[in-house]
Amino acid sequence: MEEKTVKQEQRGETEAERRSSARGVRGDAPELIDIGVNLTHASFRDDREEVVARAAAAGVSTLILTGTSLANSRRALDLARGRRGMAATVGAHPHEAARTGEGELRALEALARDPACVAVGECGLDFNRDFSPRDVQERVFAAQLEIAARVGKPLFLHERDAHSRFTEILAAARPRLRGGVVHCFTGGAAEVDAYLDLGMHIGITGWICDERRGTHLREVVRRVPLDRLMLETDAPFLTPRSMRPRPRRDRNEPAFLTHVLDAVAAALGRPREEVARATTETARRLFGL
């Protein structure tokens, strides 16, 4: 944490806390961990430290920065390294598979051994956009499963319109893996049951707050035990549509994780404090925080 933030905490109220009500931030939240933040994204370039401060003011004490390519993973590690309340994942997103050869995979494995890296990924399959050929996606995904097995770290997983092949590849490697989380889960009951059967965790984003396409998640999330459930923003994407007022820039940020917490707690019919404690402990346990 930077000196300015420490001094603000010593004074008591931070500027972010004074502004939180105007930004749609819940300042009364229990401690939360945002397991998926794209903090290296260009939209955070000019106010990244303010974003981190607002997250802390809202009770989001830990941010796990998502690595999606070799270069992006390096940037995420550079941001997280040596900072309290921040860690990173290292991996190649399926969109990046065509640009991820043997040399890049070796470099990713070296980065994955860094103490600031808590998971391998974002990796998996995306047969929706097919930005990389499917056979290449599968090869790079399988290679990253082997990296995770060798470095002994969990997985940060992406799957879109590829459930059958994704689970086949994951199941074949599962005995050698420490576990993982299917990030930004948006599927149905059959998919969530299959991932739970494989010993995976489930990450829920602001998708559950979307009345147009996320209402089914309010039923599906009830199938997930609290010790397998985690919360994330996937910021700057997936701003919770339940926010009132909407953020001026319509950019998601970690401070808005409280809205995901509220939606999940309402769906489960449990107190938000209980859900916050459980999901935070689950994240700590999986990622070794």
Domain that holds residue 219: 25-287
Report CA-CA distances (Å) from 107 to 36, 40, 144, 237, 239.
22, 19, 12, 28, 33
Residue 10 lies in a domain: no
* Residue 250 banded pLDDT, cuts 50, 70, 90: confident
Mean pLDDT of the chain: 90
Radius of gyration, CA atoms only, the chain: 18
Residue 146 lies in a domain: yes
Contact 265, 45 (CB under 8 A): no
Query: pLDDT at position 11, please?
Result: 32
Query: pLDDT at position 29, please?
Result: 52
Query: pLDDT at position 25, please?
Result: 46
Residue 8 lies in a domain: no
Residues 24 and 28: their CA atoms lie apart, in Å, by: 12
Residue 14 lies in a domain: no
* Residue 172 banded pLDDT, cuts 50, 70, 90: very high
Residue 82 lies in a domain: yes
User: Based on the structure, what is the number of domains in the chain?
Assistant: 1
Half-sphere exposure of 173 (CA within 13 A, CB side): 26
> What are the start-end ranges of the H helices in 12-69?
15-19, 48-57
Query: pLDDT at position 251, please?
Result: 95
Looking up residue 88, the CATH number of its domain turns out to be 3.20.20.140
Residue 251 lies in a domain: yes
Residue 188 lies in a domain: yes
User: Among 49-63, 169-183, 242-256, which is the least confidently predicted range?
Assistant: 242-256
pLDDT tens string 106-157? 999 999 999 999 999 999 999 999 999 999 999 999 999 999 999 999 999 9
* Residue 249 banded pLDDT, cuts 50, 70, 90: confident
SS (H, E, C) 55-74: HHHCCEEEEEECCCCHHHHH
Tokens encoding 182: 């299917």
Q: How far is CA 182 from the centre of its chain?
A: 9
